[in-house]
Amino acid sequence: MPSELILGGARSGKSRHAETLAAASDLSVHVIVTAEALDEEMAARIARHQADRPAGWMVVEAPTRLAAALAAEAAPDRCVVVDCLTLWLANLLDGAENLPPAASADQLPAFARERAALLALIPTLPGRVIFVANEVGLGLVPETPLGRLFRDEAGRLNQAVAALCEQVTFVAAGLPLRLKG
What are the extents of the domains in the chain?
A: 3-180
pLDDT in tens, the chain (181 residues): 679 999 999 899 999 999 999 999 999 999 999 988 788 987 888 888 888 888 899 999 999 999 999 999 999 999 999 999 999 999 999 878 887 777 778 888 899 999 999 999 999 999 999 999 999 988 889 998 889 999 999 999 999 999 999 999 999 999 999 999 9
Contact call for residues 101 and 146 (beta carbons, < 8 A): no
Is 12 labelled a binding residue?
Answer: yes
Is 25 labelled a binding residue?
Answer: no
Is 83 labelled a binding residue?
Answer: yes
Instruction: Tell me whether strands 28-33 and 78-83 are parallel, antiparallel or unpaired.
Output: parallel
Active-site annotation, residues: 49
Q: What is the dihedral of CA 26, 15, 68, 1, to 10 degrees?
A: 40
Q: What is the dihedral of CA 85, 135, 14, 181, to 10 degrees?
A: -90
Is 13 labelled a binding residue?
Answer: yes
Residue 18 neighbours by CB under 8 Å, 6+ apart: 6, 81, 83, 130, 132
Is 28 labelled a binding residue?
Answer: no
What's the topology of domain 3-180?
Rossmann fold (3.40.50)
Is 14 labelled a binding residue?
Answer: yes
Residue 153 neighbours by CB under 8 Å, 6+ apart: 89, 93, 105, 111
pLDDT given at position 1: 66
